[in-house]
């Protein structure tokens, strides 16, 4: 007994979908099944730097330790927990190897001389 392949079954059920698209869809769903191998994510580079400029929309100009300047945005967890960064703060930045001019601020180092931030009262969403 010969079993039909995925493309033939999908084509017989949905004749309006082109075969090439069906193959892409079946490959994409097969990738996330348990027991199958998935492709590894590209490794991110983590570097340190100092904020030298504040830009709109939660972005910063950061001068890295290797004397390169990049534009970095605030990571989601920092935005969620309202961690504020100012000029002169030392930060850790994640960068992808594909675009070395942009990054994401993932950590702001605590400075010994600064007092802890005052607690705000009231409801916080």
Per-residue pLDDT of the chain (125 residues; tens, 9 = 90+): 666 666 665 555 545 555 554 555 455 455 555 555 555 677 899 999 999 999 999 899 999 999 999 999 999 888 899 889 999 999 999 999 999 999 999 999 987 776 666 566 666 66
List, in order, residues 6 or more apart from 64 with CB less than 8 Å away.
47, 48, 49, 70, 93
Looking at residue 90, what is its pLDDT? 96
Long-range Cβ pairs for the range 77-83 (8 Å, 24+): 77/106, 78/105, 78/106, 78/108, 83/108
Looking at residue 41, what is its pLDDT? 72
pTM listed for this prediction:
0.60
Strand ranges for the chain from DSSP E: 45-55, 59-64, 69-74, 90-96, 99-108
């Amino acid at each position: 007994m010969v079993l039909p392949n995925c493309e033939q079954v999908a084509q017989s059920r949905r004749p309006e979908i082109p075969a090439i698209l069906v193959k892409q869809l079946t490959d994409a769903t097969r990738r996330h099944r348990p027991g199958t191998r998935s492709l590894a994510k590209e490794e991110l580079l983590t570097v340190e730097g100092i904020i030298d400029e504040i830009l709109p929309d939660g972005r910063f100009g950061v001068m890295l330790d290797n004397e390169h300047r990049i534009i970095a945005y605030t990571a989601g967890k920092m935005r969620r927990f309202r961690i504020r960064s100012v000029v002169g703060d030392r930060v850790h930045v994640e960068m992808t190897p594909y675009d070395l001019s942009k990054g994401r601020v993932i950590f702001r180092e605590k400075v010994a001389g600064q007092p802890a931030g005052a607690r705000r009262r009231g409801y916080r969403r």
